[in-house]
Amino acid sequence: MNRVWPHSDSLAQSRRTFLQRSAAGLGSIALGSLLQARGAQTHFSARARRVIFLFMAGGPSHVDLFDPKPVLNQHDGKTIPKELLKDHQQFALIRGTPSLKGSTYKFARHGKSGIEMSELMPHLAGVADELTVIRSMKTDTNIHDPAVNMMNCGSVMFDHPTLGAWASYGLGSENENLPAYIVLTSGSDDGQPLLQSFWGNGFLDSRHQGVPFRNGVDPVLHLTNPSGIGTETRRQQLDLVRWMNQHQHDALGDPEIVSRIASYEMAFRMQSSVPELTDLRNEPASILALYGAEPGRMSFANNCVLARRLVEKGVRFIQLYDRGWDSHTDIHREHARQCAAADRPTAALLTDLKQRGLLDDTLVIWGGEFGRTPVAQVSGKTYGRDHHPHGFTMWLAGGGTSPGTTYGRTDDFGYHATEGVVHVRDLHATILHLLGLDHERLSVPVQGLDMRLTGVEQAHVVRAILA
């Protein structure tokens, strides 16, 4: 059979017609309404309205912080048992068969719940009864960037939407003057790099990507007007750009054009809302002291204060990246440094949210992309711990979780999650559930597939940690 291919002009016209028809749902809605904040559309009653994800980039050591292992300590220095290295498991950087390494830190029970944690977290110990500690986390890779992607996107592949983007997509924003998803960073630039994909929108509309707030005079790049350009002039410029983009949208029906208009309008509104929001000098001295924050500094403490302010403003998802937890050498010094900077503001954030009546409907998450090995990675006279995906600890607080709870366990050496195993996909399903979203129903069609945060594999809500 002879196949007749259409003329190129016909192809172009067909493409335009297809775009117009496929975007008919958008075109039938007034453009102005598309620029308004999208209201929450939950599948069922939500326990949390917003999320603060405290991301310890690099991977904190569970056996030094939240998962005491007396047996590991007793076998310190001995070669790791072969039965632990099942399924031909390999380490990220260690070569050969390493030796077990116990923790040098003292552990104690805290609060009425008796949650155990090490002496590295004395301030967090004071709010132990607010925590839901998961000791049985598991992920798919021991390589940083794919593991961060997995923890954020539910996939080791790049260009997938992050958890924050899905929350924005599913719930929208509660404040039309601020993005629904904001990212804050702290820690040394010399450590593990942070990629934009870690807060990207993937195949979702670009309005749902995370917006990084920088430290310094200009929290958001290109937000201030050039010299000689006032608010009225900027408004006129944006009206002209909007008019041109709207005509292009009418011709092509491309939804991304609407997103482009929305981003310009958001930036205009942020010119007045962001400077006041990020200026911590108007915080009471008692609050700054509680967090250990100093206005004008780049610090995790300052970011925790800002996270609370963003929560008060109705931002849906706030993610704090704290770099410096990738302790391959001299972990005794490096983890002590990281905990000294993060412990106090983390505890203060929980205290502050609770005293303002915000913790009940704000879900706080703490953890990294994986844990660290219960074996030593030796380098010279010091030792560190390698990347460890097979069993590690994260904790949640507020937002409908069960306070004062310890869930799951690893084996006696802290190597494998053995009871109540929580894969990253299960964690994602649980977080979405707390936000009122069914992880199996929150999906978008992409290239013939219904794509979702938890993928096509089985994922389960961990109901045992819900209040």
The domain segmentation of the chain, as residue ranges, is 29-465
Helix (H, G, I), strand (E, B) or coil at 114: coil
pTM: 0.85
CA distance 239 to 98: 64
Say what the pLDDT of residue 14 is. 41
**Can you list the residues of the chain whose pLDDT is less than 70?**
1-40, 88, 189-191, 215-225, 228-230, 233-234, 261-273
Q: Which residue reads 């925790």 in tokens?
A: 304
**H-type helices in 253-318, by residue range?**
255-278, 285-291, 300-312
Residue 86 has what pLDDT? 79
DSSP, res 442: -
Residue 264: the pLDDT is 65
Q: Dihedral sign, CA of 455, 154, 440, 428?
A: positive
For the 29-465 domain, the top CATH level (class) is alpha beta
User: Which tens digit of pLDDT belongs to each residue from 363-390?
Assistant: 999 999 999 999 999 877 889 999 999 9
In terms of Cβ atoms closer than 10 Å to its own Cβ (0-12, 13-18, 19+), residue 124 is buried
What is the token pair recorded at 255?
């939804």
Q: Would you state the pLDDT for residue 145? A: 96
pLDDT of residue 440: 95
- What are the b/e assignments for 202-237, b being 16+ CB within 10 Å? bebbebbbbbbbebeeebbeeeeeeeeeeeeeeeee
Q: Is-contact 203 444, C-beta < 8 A? A: yes
Residues 237 and 252: their CA atoms lie apart, in Å, by 23
Q: Rounded to whole angstroms, how far apart are CA atoms 140 and 138?
A: 7
Helical (H) or strand (E) element with 382: strand 382-384
